[in-house]
C-alpha cells in the first residue's frame, strides 16, 4: 500500500464525517507523525510505500477516526502556541480561541507576576504563559486528578515549573493573592449540545464543557467573587466566555465594581473574551 492508496481509502471512508479540508489536515498530521517526514514530501505520496508496521498504524487510526474520535486523541498530542501538548479523553482539546486568550494576556508585561489558572485541564494556558514569561509564578487548579496528571506531563515536556492544585474551585480556600486570574471554564449549556459534533460529545470530558441552562454563569460568578479577595489591587481577570451571556456577565462585573469591563472579539468576530480590571492602565494596554 502506498501513502496515496491510504489517502484514497481514508477519503472514501470518512467523507461522510469530515469536510475535505479537514480530511487533508488529518492526512497530513498522520503522515507527519507516523512517517516522520516533512509536509513537503507528503506531496510525493504516490511514491511512498508503507511497510507492514506503518500500514497497521494508519489503518488503526482510520478505524478510530471512523468512530468520530478526534485526531488529537488518536495521535495523543496537539500543538498550542507553538508548543506540543499531550492530550487524552481526560482533558479538552485546546482550541484556537484559547490560544487567542493566551496571546491577549501576553500583550501585558507580566513577567515576574503571579498567575492563577482555574480549570487548567491539559495545562495549555498555564504552561504557555509560564513558557513565555519565564520569571512568572504560575499556579493551576483542576478538580480532575486525571487532567492534572496530563497537565504535569505537559509541564515536564515543556520544561516549566507550575504549582498544580487538585481542588474544587467552589470549595477552595487560600490566603494568597495573584496579579492575574485566568480561566476557560465550562460555558456550553446543555441545550447547546444539539449543535455539537459527535467527536466532541462522545470523547471530550463533559465536566469541562457543559453547564446547566438554569445557571449558565455560575463559574464566572464564583471566579469574579473569588477574585475580590485573591486579586491584587491592580490585578486583571481574563475569561473565555459564551457570548450568549455577555449581558449577564457585564452586569455581574458591574455588581462587583470592576472599573474596566472589556469584551473582546475572537478572529471569527464573536465576543469570546472578558477582561476585568480595577487598573485604568489596562484600557491602554489591551487595545
Contact status, residue 215 vs residue 202, Cβ threshold 8 Å: no
pLDDT-derived band of residue 173, with 50, 70 and 90 as boundaries? confident
Q: Which whole number is the average pLDDT over 20-24?
A: 95
- The count of C-alpha atoms lying within 13 angstroms of the C-alpha of 59, restricted to the half-sphere facing its C-beta, is 10
- The count of C-alpha atoms lying within 13 angstroms of the C-alpha of 45, restricted to the half-sphere facing its C-beta, is 16
Burial of 247 (0-12, 13-18, 19+ CB in 10 A): exposed
- Of 59-73, 207-221, 237-251, 271-285, least confident by mean pLDDT is 271-285
Check residue 40 and give its pLDDT.
Answer: 81
- Which among 155, 163, 30 is positioned nearest to 84, based on CA atoms? 155
Domains in the chain: boundaries: 3-66, 89-285
Q: Which residue has the higher pLDDT, 57 or 286?
A: 57
pLDDT tens digits, residue range 240-277? Answer: 999 999 999 999 999 998 989 999 999 999 999 999 99
- Which among 89, 95, 140, 94 is positioned nearest to 115, based on CA atoms? 140
Assigned C-alpha cell, 178: 495573584
pLDDT tens digits, residue range 94-128? Answer: 999 999 999 999 999 999 999 999 999 999 999 99
Tell me the average pLDDT of the chain: 93
For β-strands 271-277 and 260-265, DSSP reports them as antiparallel
Q: Which whole number is the average pLDDT over 39-65?
A: 89
Orientation of helix 52-66 relative to helix 3-14, angle to 10°: 10
Q: How many residues in the chain? A: 287
Check residue 27 and give its pLDDT.
Answer: 94
Check residue 39 and give its pLDDT.
Answer: 81
The predicted model scores a pTM of: 0.92
Q: Which whole number is the average pLDDT over 274-281?
A: 77
User: In the chain, pLDDT over 90 holds for what percent of residues?
Assistant: 85
Check residue 284 and give its pLDDT.
Answer: 40
pLDDT-derived band of residue 194, with 50, 70 and 90 as boundaries? confident
Q: CA dist 9 to 35, 46, 112, Å?
A: 18, 14, 52
Check residue 279 and give its pLDDT.
Answer: 62
CATH 3.40.50.150 fits 89-285, yes or no: yes
Check residue 287 and give its pLDDT.
Answer: 39
Amino acid at each position: 500500500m502506498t501513502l496515496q492508496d491510504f489517502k484514497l481509502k481514508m477519503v472514501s471512508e470518512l467523507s461522510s464525517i469530515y469536510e475535505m479540508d479537514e480530511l487533508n489536515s488529518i492526512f497530513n498530521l498522520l503522515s507527519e507523525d507516523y512517517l516522520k517526514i516533512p509536509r513537503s514530501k507528503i506531496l510525493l505520496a504516490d511514491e511512498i510505500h508503507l511497510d507492514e508496521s506503518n500500514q497497521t498504524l494508519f489503518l488503526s487510526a482510520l478505524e478510530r477516526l471512523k468512530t468520530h474520535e478526534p485526531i488529537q486523541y488518536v495521535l495523543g498530542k496537539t500543538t498550542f502556541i507553538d508548543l506540543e501538548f499531550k492530550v487524552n479523553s481526560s482533558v479538552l482539546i485546546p482550541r484556537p480561541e484559547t490560544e487567542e486568550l493566551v496571546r491577549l494576556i501576553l500583550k501585558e508585561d507580566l513577567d515576574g507576576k503571579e498567575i492563577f489558572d482555574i480549570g487548567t485541564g491539559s495545562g495549555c494556558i498555564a504552561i504557555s504563559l509560564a513558557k513565555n514569561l519565564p520569571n512568572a509564578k504560575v499556579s493551576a487548579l483542576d478538580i480532575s486528578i486525571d487532567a492534572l496528571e496530563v497537565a504535569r506531563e505537559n509541564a515536564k515536556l515543556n520544561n516549566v515549573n507550575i504549582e498544580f492544585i487538585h481542588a474544587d474551585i467552589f470549595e477552595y480556600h487560600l490566603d494568597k493573592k495573584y496579579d492575574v486570574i485566568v480561566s476557560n471554564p465550562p460555558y456550553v449549556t446543555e441545550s447547546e449540545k444539539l449543535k455539537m459534533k459527535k467527536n466532541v460529545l462522545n470523547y471530550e470530558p463533559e465536566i469541562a464543557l457543559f453547564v446547566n441552562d438554569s445557571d449558565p454563569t455560575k463559574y464566572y460568578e464564583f471566579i469574579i467573587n473569588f477574585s475580590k479577595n485573591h486579586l491584587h489591587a491592580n490585578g486583571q481577570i481574563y475569561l473565555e466566555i459564551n457570548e450568549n451571556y455577555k449581558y449577564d456577565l457585564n452586569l455581574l462585573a458591574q455588581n462587583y465594581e470592576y472599573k474596566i469591563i472589556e469584551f473582546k472579539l475572537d478572529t471569527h468576530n464573536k465576543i469570546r473574551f472578558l477582561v476585568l480590571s480595577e487598573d485604568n492602565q489596562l484600557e491602554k494596554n489591551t487595545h
